[in-house]
Structure 1
């Protein structure tokens, strides 16, 4: 059983200064005073649903054409008769803080970040997913194995809390910015959105674009600075970015210093999500420097951590070392309690997936091996539902390639190349964990050390001259960042890249492509109003249900007359939470209701599925598991299923959809899923036929860390067995041990399991198998 033991911060609990209406409560009270329904200003809920569909799915021209249709005008009796009236109603819906242009040479479209933070905290949809106090969490009661997942479990929040007055609440501000192109094939139209969220909201919610927990707070103007000399444009663009960010974040200065009277929060910049060029822009350093530490460009291949760029570094070293770019007033200089260098978070997408793996590791190994040899091996990888099929070899699916690359390299390249590749792949997998412990961080550190131990082999082979590579160097900062701010899945640039679709590309597509920033912000305001109204109606519906059910404690409060409303009220302290699955079963499976094939003969099963002993194996199962049965014979017919899904208990280091449990396992090839005919006996579960592999060896292969497997045979034929579907633990994947020789031309992904004689158990298939293998190794 996995338990979670939390140590509360040893100070006064965060205080609540009375209670104030949420925005939804205030909106409902206003409507009730006017005798209006929740869906006002629309006539009824059906008209609201039509309006929501029109606002989200059709452009202005299409909306006008729709409203002019005779059937709409004559039969639907809508309260809005034209496009103008429709958009006027949309614009009258309550919305979040909206953008205000500051007109100068460039228009900066922005909204108040403090109001956005207050709006996020006051959103009833996030109420059950908020944290207001730091805590230290352990998976053992003696505090021997600290855990890091949410931002409030990191060291940064714990230290920051000690710098604030008692009872104040830290609201960690998380920013993200990334310039993106708005046109796919032609033109130079770009947008530079800036997004904001807060660490008080659970990272699982922040990652969901549909939850709207990360909000757009402005567009930085994109300019070519043609009025500057060519040599000055770069410096001008850097200063312009910092000036815009200073204006955009100016409300955070007073709010971070003095607090905001919503639980008396202090919004403090805690994390900045960006790719490497933008990280350097933010840190005011050149792109051949590290934005987090003072390492010299020619020392970036070392595993030794250089002095960090901290607040003390800025004070002691001065302008020339701390601000290498000629930016006279960085936007973060006046933000209270902010250490921008500590705030810059790792970028798994660009640094690891696209950088370390695609641009470097794959490039190195394809220089060692002929591309044809690698392509042949990729195309022979056995199919699996959780793995992309590499029909033509190497692809752009780099996350999928990571799952099989080590098995492809084993035996074909220098053993030190394999060891270096294993170190990088292990590090990439650990970096994606959703929850870390001291144990997983130690393994992550060992993986990085393994790569650095063997990296010189690439220099010896003439592939590299050095390892002074920014993305390779960035990995030395990952572990410290996890300790400071929690697991890295909450800071992935994939989040902002996904938001570009809604806040940039769709908004641009809705404009007439001229003066598009203004049109984009108007369109986004309307979309936000639609989303907000939908959430409000959902809240009204849930509130109505709760009020109907009633509450026994409705009148059990104090007799206060309200005069002491502003007195601080203590909130609940952290408590021990049991993380074990609430499921009462260890494993479960699911099948389609209807078999994919019925009345299949034994002969067809033997020929199509490669099963030589189906009837003997089935009768052996019947004798062992059913008291009253009839022996099967070759005249029986069977119903078959084409697939089966396995679900097992939850593991904290990955999402709930990824599951793990500790049991003794053995690998097998699933050949058949079938139902037992009723005339043979009664059994409550479907049956499967498998071909066994031999038991796992006691230790994995020392070069790859993968367990070797061979077929289990009987009289030189595969050793098969019929089992209940409940015996299945999870899907797994094996990779042929290709060795040094070329892939035989007759091998393919469909027959390689029958052609090859030895395999590797591929624990890189998914995170829960990866964790189980590495935890037990």
Structure 2
């Protein structure tokens, strides 16, 4: 099982190597040093930028390291951002820029040389003095940063020896770069011989790269997978552009505009083809709906879209599997399967004229993901998304506090003072409370006490039955509620008996209190978390007018309902339904349940049913469902709100052309068939299959 960094093989190998090099030493503790570097813009117009270098250690839990408020990352330095424009020769300028980077990094990391080789005594969080070996373990950065760190040429893999023109070969293993051969080449004194030896070893002739003298370091195995830049800003960005080239852009945008609303899914009301300079979050939003846009869209010229749909499904499977916070040997084998499926079907993009070659280093690097997860832990240990967030606190805010002249000394002074204030505030709080404000521990995650969270007061009190029917689209509310009361009081009744007895239910009330949304925790006590924020919101909001008098469509979410035997994962024991009303019964309803001596659940929901899950489609692997219609009417029931597992997103079955009278607000009512989306969020991918 792989999750935090200590579960990876690198840590255990480093521990064994250090103990072999220092026999007889006791209490040997490895301190993995994780370096992050990335250039960021400080201003929108003046072109000023900063090049911060951050450091954290693998001993901290990943939940601590990726939260800026926990102070798990520190700023080491700002690297020079000069473009060296005084060097007119472009090749010489590139060499000088690389040498400048490595010279600065060597100076920054020089204090690691002796402690990494001989160890140093440090006090850990539990107060015990340990003999620690701080060892460079990983350098986190985007692809240009990886090329700069390893010294390989742009367009090549920073880790393995695959030729640039063979990056698309999936069936060949070219082996890892030989670090010993690189060190031998770098140690040659003669400049010409050294240059030729470096080229033969596969790197540029850098003058003293910063990792050359770091003990136990291997830069080609220290490059980490990067979900943000390699997947969202890399492969997914490419995939979206390929789809826009293959299909009609107008039809893609028309379908985007007609997708239903959901808590996890963003509706692109103006489409996606006209968007530019997209962020990683926007690419993530597109990935949630990308498969649903193309499922039944025909290709120009009558070509079969089967291979394209399979290729898209494969990339999305890899994207979500790669983000698992916990991996096992079995899930890592699942990670290899979608890569095989993509490469089996990628020729369709060449046949359509979308691609002419596969020289894409970011796409090639996906084959190394399973190795690095085994080596360094899961990808959320070193995602550059955390580094991007640090730019705000440690670069952009610091620059905003300066007068924009000779800014870096002012930025460092401002940050130093802020850290002193932070430490003093923590010390005062510790003195008052008798404990540290942010204890760092591996204590088990404490889930919410109740997975259902409702507002203290209902959205509307005393809504008449007639209003529920007219405003919330619940025409059989009274009948469904009567059947629920009979079934609750007489669990052994057959459906026919329930139907007969429901006609005689004496309603002592004519209104209910209505809630327009319910918040649920998606986690499970016996399973690891899939998300950092596992919350889901279910809406049941009627149409209304905004402050400007404009009509706002109602929002009635679709959900999966547990029939009593549903498990944590999978669709067995679940049915899809659309929530029309979330309500509570008034106190005057208590006599209806007096005979059984039990009160019904406080929160109930009126839902309309869809057909049961069948077999998924063999190409896009999604489940197809329809509404259940009886005698021309939708089948509806009243159920306990707690029977709902979570919201679920449905892709409308548009057909060859999306009907233009459909909209985001009415598509759930007008469309006849739907596909259940597995990609609305990571929890949905893990559970709906």
Q: TM-score, normalised by structure 2?
A: 0.82
- Per the alignment, residue 313 of structure 2 pairs with 422
Answer with 674-683 or 711-720: which moved more. 674-683
For the residue of structure 2 that corresponds to 1:436, the secondary structure is coil
CA distance in 2, matches of 1:726, 1:686: 8
1:537-567 CA deviation, whole Å, 9 max, x = no partner?
A: 2322343799xxxxxxxxxxxxxxxxxxxxx
- Per the alignment, residue 223 of structure 2 pairs with 344
Output aligned runs, 1:54-203, within 5 Å.
147-165=1-19, 166=25, 167-184=27-44, 186-203=45-62
Candidates 411, 416, 426, aligned match of 2:296:
411
CA distance in 2, matches of 1:281, 1:632: 77
Output aligned runs, 1:79-478, within 5 Å.
147-165=1-19, 166=25, 167-184=27-44, 186-231=45-90, 232-262=92-122, 263-303=130-170, 304-314=172-182, 318-322=197-201, 324-358=203-237, 360-394=238-272, 396=278, 397-413=282-298, 414-478=305-369
Answer with 288-297 or 332-341: which moved more. 288-297
Q: CA deviation at 1:608?
A: 2.0
Q: CA deviation at 1:355?
A: 1.1
- Per the alignment, residue 586 of structure 2 pairs with 677
CA distance in 2, matches of 1:252, 1:446: 40
For the residue of structure 2 that corresponds to 1:325, the secondary structure is coil
1:475-521 CA deviation, whole Å, 9 max, x = no partner?
A: 11111110100011111111111111111111111111111111111
CA RMSD of aligned residues (A): 2.4
Q: CA deviation at 1:311?
A: 2.3
Output aligned runs, 1:314-713, within 5 Å.
314=182, 318-322=197-201, 324-358=203-237, 360-394=238-272, 396=278, 397-413=282-298, 414-543=305-434, 588-626=451-489, 631=505, 636-648=510-522, 649-650=524-525, 651-652=527-528, 654-655=530-531, 657-658=533-534, 661-662=568-569, 664-681=573-590, 682-697=599-614, 699-713=615-629
Q: CA deviation at 1:428?
A: 0.8
Q: CA deviation at 1:739?
A: 2.5
For the residue of structure 1 that corresponds to 2:204, the secondary structure is coil
Tell me, yes or no, if the aligned pair for 1:297 and 1:468 is still in contact at 8 Å.
Answer: yes
Higher-RCO chain (CA-CA 8 Å, sequence separation at least 6) = 1
- After superposition, the Cα gap between the structure-2 partners of 1:684 and 1:669, relative to the gap in structure 1 and judged at 3 Å, is closer
Tell me, yes or no, if the aligned pair for 1:436 and 1:653 is still in contact at 8 Å.
Answer: no
Q: TM-score, normalised by structure 1?
A: 0.73
- After superposition, the Cα gap between the structure-2 partners of 1:324 and 1:544, relative to the gap in structure 1 and judged at 3 Å, is closer
Tell me, yes or no, if the aligned pair for 2:509 and 2:586 is still in contact at 8 Å.
Answer: no
CA distance in 1, matches of 2:617, 2:388: 39
For the residue of structure 2 that corresponds to 1:729, the secondary structure is strand
Candidates 624, 639, 643, aligned match of 1:723:
639
Tell me, yes or no, if the aligned pair for 1:603 and 1:634 is still in contact at 8 Å.
Answer: no
Could you tell me which runs of 5 or more consecutive residues in structure 1 were left unpaired when the two chains were aligned.
Answer: 1-146, 547-573
1:128-178 CA deviation, whole Å, 9 max, x = no partner?
A: xxxxxxxxxxxxxxxxxxx10000000111111100125311100000011
Tell me, yes or no, if the aligned pair for 1:239 and 1:326 is still in contact at 8 Å.
Answer: no
Tell me, yes or no, if the aligned pair for 2:608 and 2:636 is still in contact at 8 Å.
Answer: yes
Tell me, yes or no, if the aligned pair for 1:658 and 1:767 is still in contact at 8 Å.
Answer: no
- Per the alignment, residue 744 of structure 1 pairs with 659
Q: CA deviation at 1:316?
A: 7.5
CA distance in 2, matches of 1:175, 1:607: 60
Tell me, yes or no, if the aligned pair for 1:685 and 1:726 is still in contact at 8 Å.
Answer: no
CA distance in 2, matches of 1:751, 1:189: 48
- After superposition, the Cα gap between the structure-2 partners of 1:422 and 1:591, relative to the gap in structure 1 and judged at 3 Å, is same
Q: CA deviation at 1:314?
A: 2.6
Residue-pair matches, total: 593
Q: CA deviation at 1:530?
A: 1.1
- After superposition, the Cα gap between the structure-2 partners of 1:544 and 1:479, relative to the gap in structure 1 and judged at 3 Å, is closer
Tell me, yes or no, if the aligned pair for 2:183 and 2:212 is still in contact at 8 Å.
Answer: no
Could you tell me which runs of 5 or more consecutive residues in structure 2 were left unpaired when the two chains were aligned.
Answer: 20-24, 123-129, 186-196, 299-304, 491-500, 536-566, 591-598
CA distance in 2, matches of 1:544, 1:600: 50
Tell me, yes or no, if the aligned pair for 1:155 and 1:485 is still in contact at 8 Å.
Answer: yes
Output aligned runs, 1:8-47, within 5 Å.
none
1:586-621 CA deviation, whole Å, 9 max, x = no partner?
A: x73121111111222222222222222111111011
Tell me, yes or no, if the aligned pair for 2:453 and 2:520 is still in contact at 8 Å.
Answer: yes
Q: CA deviation at 1:680?
A: 2.3
Tell me, yes or no, if the aligned pair for 2:6 and 2:59 is still in contact at 8 Å.
Answer: yes
Tell me, yes or no, if the aligned pair for 1:711 and 1:718 is still in contact at 8 Å.
Answer: yes
Q: CA deviation at 1:632?
A: 5.8
